[in-house]
Amino acid sequence: GGMAVVYRVRHATLGTRHALKVLSITSSDVKERLIQEGRVQATLRHPNVIGVSDVLDVAGAPGLLMEFIQGPALDHWLHNYQPSVEEALTIFRGIVAGVGHAHSKGLIHRDLKHANVMLHVDEHGVHPKVTDFGLAKLTDSGDKRRTRTGTTMGTPAYMSPEQIRDASTVDRRADLYSLGCILYELVCGCT
């Protein structure tokens, strides 16, 4: 993305593979958001959410140590493959399960889009995993400082009209709108 680079890394002692997301922008606000993203994602233990296990310092920049996914992002997959309706619905159900888990923990993603869904491919099939909680909002924190009133945050093609007007006031319905956009792309093959 425009703010970070993701590397495939191997743990020196354990030999396990991970993804390491390292900031390429050094602003203190962006650093704080990445650390908050790590905190948020680390609390979401769910098979349809990419796990974060640590925040590391990489040459002065924060980096998120995440679960490595063997497979493409949903946007790349849809660019090369048109799923059947049943395949699309199976993937969509997994995405909804991951987002539903986040909602049950009081989190609104606010940047759901096909590029923020990774597809883990193994011998049992394709399993969607929601990622990039960098714009997530904690609904019951009472902390309004993270998002200024009147601020637009997210990806415009996936944002509800309410989120375009003011990202600080949105609730779970904003994510439902974005999920509808993802479902449309899955079924219609549009990316």
Q: Catalytic residues, which ones?
A: 111
DSSP, collapsed to helix, strand or coil, labels residue 175 as helix
| C-alpha closest to that of 132 among 24, 40, 56, 54 | 40
DSSP-derived 3-state class of residue 93: helix
Name residue 10's beta-bridge partners.
17
According to DSSP, residue 117 is labeled E
Q: Residue 180's closest CA among 169, 170, 190?
A: 190
- Contact between 68 and 17 under an 8 Å Cβ cutoff? The reply is yes
Residue 57 pairs in a beta bridge with 62
Q: Which two tokens stand for residue 23?
A: 């900031």
Please give the backbone phi and psi of residue 67, each rounded to the nearest 5 degrees, phi first: -60, 135
